[in-house]
Amino acid sequence: MAQRTDRPATGRVWSKPAQLVLGFAAAVLAGGTGLFLAAVFLHVAPANSVSRLYRDEVDGVVYPEFEQNWKLFAPNPLQQNVTVDARVRTVAPDGTTRTRDWIGLTAQDIAAIRGNPAPSHVQQNLLRRAWDFYEGSHNPQDESSTSPRGGLAEQYLKRIALQRIGREADGEPVREIQFRSTAVTVAPPSWSGEAAPAAPRVRELPWWPVADEDYRGLLG
């Protein structure tokens, strides 16, 4: 009777070409991750010769989706509560234009966050950072752009609102959109002796046209 010999199971053996492809893919992923982390680091780090030299490249990676609201050595806590609202104009079949009521975009986020033990980053920061992006690139006197990224800031803010509002309101297509922000300074504690905050500051933007292109890539 022949003696049975148990051989240890062997794992998958990758061919040389497969190993090269996997190694190349891993190197690309590692390199891309390293470059992204380096860009974010330069964005939040104090200004230096490297960050100034590659400012355009760093901004291209960070803005608008990955903008950071903090600095590496000097966090700046928010001192205002800012709410953003939007309303739209629709056109009826007979050509009549109708201005809709204001929609509390920030109120929607707050409602989704309150009572949620793990609110998403989108609910906490997407709209807030979009408004900060717009505010930092436009003149509050006439809403003219003061930055090469002004047009991008407008489109970013518009698409966030249209994602929530949709293409129609009560069956009528959306043709224009307007934004309004209300900034309320956080009141100091009673024992501080500081003066009460000023009245809320309201900023109302002009009407922006809405086209089919503004919905490109949006869900819903």
Which of 120, 102, 99, 91 has the alpha carbon at shortest distance from 181? 102
Q: For residue 162, is it within any domain?
A: yes
Q: Work out the percent of the chain whose per-residue pLDDT is above 70.
A: 90
Q: Encoding tokens for residue 8?
A: 């240890």
| Co-location of 44 and 148 in the same domain | no
Dist CA 193 CA 68 (whole Å) = 33
Q: For residue 200, is it within any domain?
A: yes
Dist CA 190 CA 132 (whole Å) = 29
Three-state SS for 50?
helix
* Contacting residues for 40 by C-beta, under 8 A, at least 6 apart: 61, 62, 66, 68
List, for residues 77-132, the tens digit of each pLDDT value: 667 899 999 999 999 999 999 999 999 999 999 999 999 999 998 899 999 999 99
| Co-location of 87 and 48 in the same domain | no
123: containing domain: 80-215
- Structural contact between residues 65 and 149, judged by C-beta atoms closer than 8 angstroms: no
Q: For residue 4, is it within any domain?
A: no
Q: For residue 3, is it within any domain?
A: no
Q: For residue 72, is it within any domain?
A: no
- Structural contact between residues 40 and 69, judged by C-beta atoms closer than 8 angstroms: no
Number of domains within the chain? 2
| Co-location of 47 and 103 in the same domain | no
Q: For residue 154, is it within any domain?
A: yes
pLDDT at 128: 93
pLDDT at 121: 87
Q: For residue 24, is it within any domain?
A: yes
Q: Which residue has the tokens 């966030």?
A: 160
| Co-location of 106 and 36 in the same domain | no
Task: Give pTM, 2 decimals.
Answer: 0.67
| Co-location of 41 and 104 in the same domain | no
Q: For residue 113, is it within any domain?
A: yes
In the predicted model, residues of the chain with pLDDT beneath 50 are: none
